[in-house]
Amino acid sequence: MERPLGSLYVLEEVLGRGATGEVWRGRTHEGQEYAFKVLHDTLARDAETRQRFLREDSILKSIRHPHLVRVHDLVAEGDTLAIVMDLIKGSDLRKPMREHGAMRPGDACSIAAEAASALAAIHEAGVVHRDIKPENVLLDMSSTPPAVRLTDFGIARIAEQTSSKSTMLVGTAPYIAPELADGRSAVPATDLYALGITLYEMCCGVTPFADRSTLVTLQRHGSAAPGRPPEIPDPLWELIEGLLAKDPDDRPAPAARVAILLEALARDLHQLPAAPTLTEPPEAVARVHSVLTDVSMATHPPRPEGTEAVRPAGRRRRGRALAVTAAAVVLVAIVGTAAYAVMRPADDDPRQPAAAPSSLGESAEFAPGRPTAASTSPRPSYGPGKVPDLTGMPEAQARSLLPPTTSLQIVREQAQAGQPDGVVLRQNPPPGSDLPPTLQLTVSSRQATQYLDELTPTSGEDDLTTGTDATDYRLSGRPQLHAVGITGSSCSSGEKGTAEYDLGQNYKQLVGVAGIDDDSPAGKAQATLEFYGDARKLKSVTTTLGKFKELDVDVTGVLRLTLRWTFTGLDGLNCPGATLVIGDGQLVAAAGYVPPSTASPSPSGG
């Protein structure tokens, strides 16, 4: 049933309901569709809530980001308060998790990276989301590939109760950070904790501290470390553990850095299959004591050994205060919010695990990242800080077993008859050694390759530098060996340059990555890199800080390869510069041609 909203809008259909209000599909009188979050009457009639609502108007409307559901308007009419937002054509993240179970690690990292980049935008505006969960992570199917859109930012701050009226906890129990459960204020790291819980759930199908009792769940957030699900890659698990640190100061931050780390993992883990979908979380590890333990123990004494409950251990932390009175019972009243997606299931329960046994990878339309192929499970390493045995593995799988801080020097060696392509033949140092900053892998290749940084440009060489050390250039946290750096430093927008290489028609493909170096001082820099073969445009990519692009350029029959670049966003105080990096740029040789650098590959230890 339609109902008017103010003088501009018409509400048409209820899409979902939550503790703070209803979500409607609606339109303007001109026909423009929007989603509307209409707050409950009890909130709308509260004078303090209404004042907060009006104060948030300019802030929420000013926050824009490709991975945020944009707020267009805030409407206050009588006892009605409503937020006007983008209408997302798709579903929330809960739906594919319920239907497909655990996701492939690369897909989970890709989704979490886009959510983290959206969090960076709202944190920069001084807003803490406070309710990150799959229901508030939307998958926008109107874009190609589907994009993550984070929603409900700002709702928690508008709806929160003053301490004189309520001790209601704003958030959702399985995703709530220990500091909120202990009655402390929300900080940006609070959202990163909830993002870590969501990432954990994407990887195995359940949240780490799930329990039928909300109070027990809250107690575990403060008193237990998460159990590790099987087959989660080491680098991904290290990041999840960091995000779930009990102390907000111990979590990786800010959100922009977390996004970069997740993007790097998404790239490194993209070939790994999904881990098993669990119905119960692995046993949590009792580690610290929280004031919520007192509340939990009053109603849930320790269970016999072997049950899923976690026994509290250790001493009570000092300096935390939470009145354990009848008001503490209100902690179970967790505020949930509805997601603004057209296809959102009505019966979602974030406490219930996704039961489907298959991977999200079987339904690629839900994955913002690239499609991935199944591979064998990684073999165990020799332990933390030691070099794993990588011989015989595909190159991508070997990369996934190494932390992002370890650089790889890849030596391509012509594959012998019957030898598979792209497999690690030797490694230096050998398995069991202390993990060095740079690890050399000799990989079989059916086609010889030449690194771009080993070629001397016939023109434009003064504008180019090559990385001589693993720390010279970094893209999304990963050091780039065999890198070509192009520096832009002009205060005027639109700085351009060119460089030319003589390929002699000896190559057929150029692969690698392109991005803005992590240490570039111009945070808003953007670079466009174009490739021309004998004056014919082959490819163009545009990249920004933290958003590198894959390169795959067909250079078959090209005599002269020309690179053209344009920088924008360099204007500002003191003319901040930026460096465009072509990382691991490799030219694949045409049949029968052996580049000079690969004619006699250097032997390496194994």
Give the residue ranges of the annotated binding site for ATP. Answer: 37
Note whether 353 and 279 are within 8 A (CB).
yes
From first CA to last CA, the distance across the chain in angstroms is 72
Question: What is the CB neighbour count within 10 angstroms for residue 365?
Answer: 13
Identify any residues that bridge with 224 across adjacent strands, giving them in sequence order: 286
Angle between helices 234-243 and 188-204 (to 10 degrees): 140
Interatomic CA distance for residues 208 and 285, integer angstroms: 10
Residue type, 586: Q
**Could you tell me which residues are annotated as the binding site?**
37
Report d(CA 58, CA 70) in Å as an integer.
Answer: 13
The answer to whether 360 touches 369, Cβ cutoff 8 Å, is no
Contacts of the segment 217-220: beta carbons below 8 A, 24+ positions apart? 217/173, 217/174, 217/351, 218/173, 218/176, 218/181, 218/292, 218/296, 218/331, 219/181, 219/290, 219/292, 219/293, 219/295, 219/296, 219/300, 219/310, 219/312, 220/284, 220/310
Q: Can you read off the two tokens belonging to residue 532?
A: 């021309």
Are 270 and 372 a contacting pair, CB within 8 Å? yes
Determine phi and psi for 212, rounding to 5 degrees.
-65, -25
DSSP string, 100-133: H-SPPHHHHHHHHHHHHHHHHHHHHTT------S
Q: Both tokens of residue 274?
A: 């999904």
**Residue 322 three-state SS:** coil
SS3 66: coil
SS3 237: helix
Distance (Å, whole) CA 483 – CA 558: 22
- Catalytic residue selected from 86, 92, 107, 131: 131
Alpha helices, DSSP H, located in 13-126: 41-44, 47-55, 57-62, 94-100, 105-124
Q: And the tokens for 344?
A: 């959102």
107 part of the active site: no
How many Cβ atoms from other residues are within 10 Å of residue 213's Cβ? 15
Which residues does the annotation mark as catalytic?
A: 131
